[in-house]
Structure 1
Amino acid sequence: MSEWAPRRFWQDAQTVPAEGGHTVTLDDKPVRTPAKARLIVPTQPLAAAIAEEWMAQGERIDPGTMPFTRMANSAIDKVAPQRAEVADMLAAYGDSDLLCYRAEAPDALVARQQEQWDPMLDWAADTLGARLQPRAGVMHAPQPRPALDALAARVHALDAFTLAAFHDLVALSGSLVLGFAAIHRVRPVDELWTLSRLDESWQEEQWGADEEAEEVAGIKREAFLHAARFYRLATGFQPEGRD
């Protein structure tokens, strides 16, 4: 038996200026979030991406094919009411950033982590004013408070929409530094995702790939790339193609 899904009830989806940004209408009826708030986003490019998702629906609505709509809903219904708490949660990643926890052996893995991760820590120090220190092993060691405070201030400066995207960039990669690198466009987003998978890639080289793990990683990679696209649209940047 197939799962029930609501039927398409509109012919056309349009973007419309609204107080505080832009909204999407379906045959002149405004789209609302699951919590019944009006779906108003900060930029026209983001509203256009959402409208395209609604126009692409078939006879029945498939939320799985509407990632821009889902993230906008999350920004309005979940992030906005508790923005400070979400920012605190993400800022805490700085004290246990993936890029700071290094292998003690073998030498080849140690060297690869230094070669690929140290430049990102140097960038964070130079650009974000936050020098995080690498540690050997997995035991937690606190990072310098000035560095954590500098990163936290930048996280708290994000609005609900950019914070929703930033949440996925950080949570999926395990790195606050890589999240900032993605929104600052330091390197192509897929390269930053590859950096977050350095340890897993090493293991695959030694023992071979696991099909199920590869499938899960592929899903996470697409979510990471999508979060970067959402961030850019939410800030008014109109990319010419996919990241």
Structure 2
Amino acid sequence: MLCSRSGACAVTPQLGVVRDVLLQHAFTPFRTTSGARSVVLLRGPESWRLHLTTCTRSYTQQRKRFYKTVNISQEDGAFQISLDRRRLRTPMGNIVKLPNEPLALSVATEWEAQKDIIRTSSMYMSRLCNKAIDNPLNETAEERIEQTLPFLDTDTICFRAEEPPVLAELQQKAWDPVMKWVEKRFDVAFGSSTSVIGPEIPDGTKEKLRKLLRSFDAWSLVGFQEISEALKSVILALALVERHISVETAVALSRLEEEYQIGHWGRVEWSHDVEVTHIQAAVAAALMFVQFNQEVRVVSQKLPSDTNKEQSVKSTSVQ
């Protein structure tokens, strides 16, 4: 880091690389080309301000399909994907090594489904795997849990409307049964509030859910966090993972107030439908991601030791 006497500090270009990696993980439709990059921190009298200075041009990313076949191989207890003869890598350059076959099949299918142009925005499972493998922020499982629990304080179905009465009644009929089921299932209490502050979640509830999430492996936590963020609700995420509700129901419940407003004020043609489809696809992929990692782990733990040994390298073509 280089700092001038005025207090301005220029961080080395490596930070720009980290920024690019994070952008790739978000699968934004834009990226920057090579050029001068710097991150400048200007220290003001009261706070720090972060300025990203980029002397580059941006363009819509259009990457053509460069491979003919997609293959799956198993080596050293992990599954790998090959595009022709090249190993699939993450945005940070790590070889994609997946812990179970269902995940490998899902990722391979996404790559095989690409046509002339590779559209990463449609590859939800690949994005989750990349995030779990690269872990660009070096987050531990405990840190992911502590990032997820605060969603309870702003959980969508804990905030209720007083007006109009029709919406308030709709929320009560749609949300209360799911909330009560989760409360009974995990012996916790949430409550609801019409205040902008929201209900005060008991410490005992957070501690019980903390212990529950600690039973998840690191990869499953990535998926659960994704579901909670997409639905803006840990409660709905729990009901979904426990298979009490479907993906379509979970998304509909998370958008209850929005759909009410759309019904009242009208729908923007195509826009709302595309948004709902995107959320459903993202949540469905994250749910499968959790289930593949959780259920395969449980099955492997129950298998006899002689059938759970590492097997020789296997290769499968996905076509």
Q: TM-score, normalised by structure 1?
A: 0.85
After TM superposition, the structure 1 = structure 2 runs for residues 129-144 of structure 1, keeping only pairs within 5 Å, are 129-144=187-202
Aligned partners of 1:108, 1:97: CA distance in 2, in Å?
A: 21
Is the deviation greater in 151-160 or in 190-199? 151-160
Q: Which amino acid in structure 2 is aligned with residue 44 of structure 1?
A: E
2:159 is aligned with 1:101: yes
**What is the aligned partner in structure 1 of residue 20 from structure 2?**
none
Shift of 1:209: 2.0
Shift of the 30–66 alpha-carbon distance from structure 1 to 2, 3 Å rule, reads same
Cα distance in 1 for partners of 2:237, 2:229 equals 9
Question: In 2, are the aligned partners of 1:44 and 1:236 still within 8 Å (CA)?
Answer: no
CA apart distance, 1:7: 4.9
* Residue in structure 1 matched with residue 222 of structure 2 by the alignment: 164
Deviation at 1:113, TM superposition (A): 1.3
- 1:1-243 equivalences in 2 (<5 Å): 3=60, 5-78=62-135, 81-83=138-140, 84-211=142-269, 212-236=271-295
Q: Which moved more, 1:132-141 or 1:179-188?
A: 132-141
Q: Is the 8 A contact 2:106 2:125 kept in 1?
A: yes
Per-residue CA distance 1:129-177 (angstroms, 9 max, x = gap) = 2211111232234211101111222233322322222122111111001
Say what the alpha-carbon RMSD is for the aligned residues.
Answer: 2.5
Amino acid at match of 2:123: M
The separation in 2 between residues aligned to 1:4 and 1:206, in whole angstroms, is 38
Return closer, same or farther for 1:219/1:56 CA change in 2, 3 Å cut-off. Answer: closer
* Matched AA of 1:43: N
**SS of the residue aligned with 2:129?**
helix
CA contact 1:42–1:235 (8 Å) conserved in 2: no
> For 1:25, what is the secondary structure of its paired residue?
strand
**Percent identical residues:** 27
Task: Return 49-58 or 93-102, whichever deviates more.
Answer: 49-58
SS of structure 1 residue aligned to 2:73: strand
Post-superposition Cα deviations, 1:48-99, rounded to whole Å, max 9, x if no partner, equal 1111222233455332332221221011112783033222111111122111
Output the amino acid matched with 1:139.
I
Letter in structure 2 aligned against 1:129: D
Structure 1 gap segments, 5+ residues each: 238-243
Higher fraction of strand: 2
- Residue 81 of structure 1 aligns to a residue whose secondary structure is coil
| Residues 22, 43 of structure 1: 8 Å contact kept | yes
Q: 1:101 offset after TM fit, Å?
A: 1.0
Structure 2: unaligned runs, 5 residues or longer: 1-58, 297-319
- Find the aligned partners of 2:66 and 2:131 in 1 and give their Cα distance: 23
Shift of the alpha carbon at 1:4? 5.8
User: Which of 1 and 2 has greater Rg?
Assistant: 2
Please tell me the residue identity of whatever aligns with 1:115: K
SS of the residue corresponding to residue 80 of structure 2 reads strand
Report if aligned partners of 2:98, 2:104 keep a CA contact under 8 Å in 1. Answer: yes
The answer (yes or no) to whether the contact 1:98–1:175 under 8 Å persists in 2 is yes
How far residue 236 of structure 1 moved from its aligned partner, in angstroms, is 4.9
Structure with bigger helix share is: 1
The answer to whether the Cα contact below 8 Å between 2:217 and 2:294 also exists between their aligned partners in 1 is no
Residues 193-223 of structure 1 show CA distances to partners (whole Å, capped at 9, x for unaligned) of: 1111111122122222234455434432332
Q: Deviations over 1:84-132 (max 9, x none)?
A: 3222111111122111111122322222211111111111111122211
Distance 1:28 1:227, change over 3 A: same
Structure 1 residues 65 and 101, CA, compared in 2 at 3 Å: closer, same or farther? closer
